[in-house]
Chains A and B, each alone.
Chain A
Amino acid sequence: MGQARVGMAGLGMVSFVVAVALLAPFLSPENPLEQDLVARLKPPIWEEKADPRYKLGTDPVGRDILSRLMYGARISLSVGFLTMSFSALVGITLGILAGYYRGISDSIISNCVNIMMSFPYILLAISVMAATGPGYKNLVMVLGLTGWPIYTRLVRAEVIELKSRDFVTAARALGGRHSGVILKHILPNLASSIIVLATFELARMIIRESFLSFLGLGIPPPMASWGGMLAEGRSYMLGLWWLAAIPGSAIFFTTLGINLMGDGIRDWLDPHTRNR
Chain B
Amino acid sequence: MRSYILYRLFQALIVIWGISLITFSLLHLFRDPALILLPPEATKEDVALLRKEMGLDQPIIVRYFKFLSGMVRGDFGKSFVAQRSALSLVLERMPMTLWLAASGLLLAIIVSIPLGVLAAVRRNQIHDHSASVLAVLGQAMPLFWLDIMLIIIFAVKLRLLPASGAGSFKHIILPAAGIAVSLLPILMRLTRSRMIEILSQDYIRTARAKGLAERAVLFRHALRNALIPVITILGFQFGMLLGGAVITETIFAWPGVASLVVESIFNSDFPVVQAAVALFAVLIVLANLLTDITIAWLDPKVRFG
Q: Do A and B come from one complex?
A: yes
- Find out whether the CB atom of A119 lies under 8 angstroms from the CB atom of B262: no
| Chain B binding surface SS class | helix
Total contacts A-B at CB 8 Å? 135
Stretch at the interface among A17-25, A45-53, A84-92, A207-215: A207-215
Report A-chain residues with C-beta under 8 Å of the C-beta of B27: 131
- Find out whether the CB atom of A210 lies under 8 angstroms from the CB atom of B152: no
Least Cβ–Cβ distance between A271 and chain B, in angstroms? 16
Closest 8 CB pairs of A and B: A115-B18, A259-B140, A120-B243, A131-B30, A256-B140, A130-B265, A248-B145, A207-B142
Residue of A nearest to B258 (CB): A123
- Find out whether the CB atom of A115 lies under 8 angstroms from the CB atom of B243: no
- Find out whether the CB atom of B140 lies under 8 angstroms from the CB atom of A252: yes
Interface 1/0s, chain B 286-301, versus A by CB < 8 A? 0010000000000000
Interface 1/0s, chain B 127-140, versus A by CB < 8 A? 00100100011011
Chain B interface size band reads 35 or more
- Find out whether the CB atom of B31 lies under 8 angstroms from the CB atom of A118: no
Least Cβ–Cβ distance between A253 and chain B, in angstroms? 9
- Find out whether the CB atom of A237 lies under 8 angstroms from the CB atom of B140: no
- Find out whether the CB atom of A245 lies under 8 angstroms from the CB atom of B288: no
Q: Given contacts A126-B262, A230-B148, is CB(A111)–CB(B18) below 8 Å?
A: yes
- Find out whether the CB atom of A123 lies under 8 angstroms from the CB atom of B148: no
Q: Is residue B250 contacting chain A, with contact meaning CB distance below 8 A?
A: yes
Least Cβ–Cβ distance between B119 and chain A, in angstroms? 12
Q: Is residue B144 contacting chain A, with contact meaning CB distance below 8 A?
A: yes
Give the size of the chain A interface in residues (CB under 8 angstroms).
45
Least Cβ–Cβ distance between B194 and chain A, in angstroms? 11
Complex Cα–Cα for A156 and B275 (A):
32
Interface 1/0s, chain A 110-140, versus B by CB < 8 A? 0110110111111110111011110000000
Q: Is residue B281 contacting chain A, with contact meaning CB distance below 8 A?
A: yes
- Find out whether the CB atom of A237 lies under 8 angstroms from the CB atom of B163: yes
- Find out whether the CB atom of A259 lies under 8 angstroms from the CB atom of B136: yes
Which residues on A are within 8 Å of B, measured CB to CB?
Answer: 1, 111-112, 114-115, 117-124, 126-128, 130-133, 203, 207, 210-211, 214-215, 217, 230, 234, 237-238, 241, 244-245, 248-249, 251-252, 255-256, 258-260, 263, 276
Residue of B nearest to A119 (CB): B281
Complex Cα–Cα for A207 and B240 (A):
14
Interface 1/0s, chain B 21-43, versus A by CB < 8 A? 01000110111000000000000
Identify which of B144, B163, B242, B277 contacts A127 (C-beta below 8 A).
B277
- Find out whether the CB atom of B19 lies under 8 angstroms from the CB atom of A118: yes
Least Cβ–Cβ distance between B245 and chain A, in angstroms? 8
Complex Cα–Cα for A132 and B36 (A):
12
Identify which of A122, A133, A245 contacts B247 (C-beta below 8 A).
A122
Identify which of A123, A128, A259, A263 contacts B246 (C-beta below 8 A).
A123
Least Cβ–Cβ distance between B186 and chain A, in angstroms? 12
Report A-chain residues with C-beta under 8 Å of the C-beta of B30: 128, 131-132
- Find out whether the CB atom of B285 lies under 8 angstroms from the CB atom of A118: yes
